Structure 1
Amino acid sequence: MADDAGSDDERWLTINGRRWRRTDPSLPADLVAALTSHLGRGRSGVRRAKEDPDATSAARRRVDLAKHGLGERGPYWWDEPEDERLRRAKQALAELEELED
């Protein structure tokens, strides 16, 4: 079991009393930036697509893929080997880029 972060403060972020999982700190900065860009576009798409169920679904899919890639959803990043986390992040980015086509 991998353990890059020893404390809850390194694994979780609390905002307004709600706990959110932090981004996997082992991911390269360029990969995090690309996934974060897709996350922002997905969130913006959700806001714009309120009346269109298909567009809302597509935007939520983008958000979900980005959050999984960042390690903010899915298996806890601190419980997995670093190479598996990197593979998942790259796979998520590849799927997100396919959505652009």
Structure 2
Amino acid sequence: MTDPPRTPDGRYIVVDGVLWRATRPDLSDAERERLVHDLMDARRAVGAGKRAGDDAAVAAARKAVDAAKVALGERGPVWWNDGAPDYNRRKVGNTPYAGWWATPSGRSE
């Protein structure tokens, strides 16, 4: 599996033409790995709760997913500090990244 394209400023990855906020670059490898592990555990817990029909477990697991995503920088406040807006979950063609995306180097996914 190859990594998805990343915007030139490193703020987003592009999946199916949609921008998704990238993980904070200031995280150490160990911290990022721990948070990704927490995220995957929480996602598995969502599935387990759904299979068991346990709404409380699903809600708790979804909270844990959100907490991991916020800690990774993929949700919540943006991790950059230059005042640039957040284009998370937007079609890349409808953002200032459209020109970059239209180039061969942008679309190399």
Could you say whether these structures have the same fold, taking a TM-score greater than 0.5 normalized by the shorter chain as the test? yes
Which of the pair has more CA radius of gyration?
2
SS of corresponding position for 2:80: helix
User: Residue in 2 aligned with 1:69?
Assistant: 71
User: Residue in 2 aligned with 1:96?
Assistant: none
CA distance in 2, matches of 1:13, 1:68: 16
Letter in 2 for 1:75: P
Letter in 2 for 1:12: Y
User: How far does residue 59 in structure 1 lie from its aligned partner after superposition?
Assistant: 0.6
CA distance in 2, matches of 1:59, 1:34: 17
Q: Which consecutive residues of structure 1, in runs of 5 or more, have no partner in the other structure? A: 1-6, 81-101
Task: Give the RMSD, CA atoms, in angstroms.
Answer: 1.7
Q: Which consecutive residues of structure 2, in runs of 5 or more, have no partner in the other structure? A: 1-5, 83-109
Q: How does 1:47-58 map to 2 (within 5 A)?
A: 47-50=47-50, 51-58=53-60
Report Cα offsets for 1:24-74 as digits up to 9, x if no partner: 011111111111100000111111111211010111011111011111111
Sequence identity percentage: 39
- Structure 1 runs (4+) deviating above 2 angstroms are none
TM-score normalized with structure 2 length = 0.62
